[in-house]
Structure 1
Amino acid sequence: MSSLQKTGKWWVLAVGGDFDENAFDQREHCRAELLHKVNESGIELDENVWVYDEFKCAQLVLRVCPDRERAEEVARELENSGFSLRVAMEFE
C-alpha cells in the first residue's frame, strides 16, 4: 500500500483519542497510544498510515479494501478487537 497514491480503495480505521490540532505533543501522544494498542492486539501493519480529517483524532489505517462492502465486512470481523472503528474512502 502506498500512502502517496489515491487508488479509490476503502480504509478500515482504528480511532484513538481526540487532540487539539495545534498541539503537536498531544497529537503524538494520541498516536503513540493508539499504535501501542494496535501492536498489543497482534494486528500487523505494513506501514503506519495516519489519517487526519474533521474528526481531529488519531486514526490509523488497519486494512485497505477494494470496496465499501469488503471494508464493512472487515470492520465487523474486528468488532471484538476493542477498537473504535471507522470505514472511510481513502483521503475522504
Structure 2
Amino acid sequence: MSSLQKTGQWWVLAVGEDFDEEAFDQREHCRAELLRRVNEAGIELDENVWVYDEAKCAQLVLRVCPDRGRAEGVARDLEDSGLNLRVAREFE
C-alpha cells in the first residue's frame, strides 16, 4: 500500500481504544497497543496509516479496496483475527 490519496476507495480499519485527543502520550500508547494486536494477528503492513475522526480512537488502515463489497469481504476474512474492524469510505 502506498501513501493514501483521495481516491473514493474503501478502507478496512482496525479499531483500538479511545484516547484524549490532547494527550499525546495516551494517543501513542493506544496506537502502539493496536499495532501490537495487528502484528499478533499476523497482519503485515507496508506502512502504518493512522486515521483520526470523530470517534477519537486509534484506527489503522489494514486494506484499501475499490468498493464497499470488497472491503466487507476483507473484513469478513479477518473476523477471526480478534481485532475490532470497521469498514469506512475514504475520509475526505
Shorter-chain TM-score bucket reads over 0.9
Deviation of the 1:91 alpha carbon:
1.4
Identity %: 82
Partner of 2:45: 45
Residue type of the alignment partner of 1:68: R
Q: Let me know the Cα RMSD of the aligned residues.
A: 0.9
Residue type of the alignment partner of 1:80: D
The yes-or-no answer on 1:16 pairing with 2:44 is no
Deviation of the 1:75 alpha carbon:
0.5
Partner of 1:2: 3
Map of 1:1-92 to 2, 5 A cutoff? Answer: 1-3=2-4, 5-92=5-92
Deviation of the 1:87 alpha carbon:
0.3
Instruction: In structure 1, list runs of 5 or more residues that go unmatched.
Output: none
SS in 2 for 1:16: strand
Q: Distance in 1 between matches of 2:27 and 2:47?
A: 18
Q: Distance in 2 between matches of 1:83 and 1:40?
A: 10
Instruction: In structure 2, list runs of 5 or more residues that go unmatched.
Output: none
Deviations 1:5-62 (A, max 9, x none): 1111100000000000110100000000000111121101011000000000000001
Q: Distance in 1 between matches of 2:17 and 2:30?
A: 5
> How many aligned positions are there?
91
Residue type of the alignment partner of 2:3: S
SS in 1 for 2:51: coil
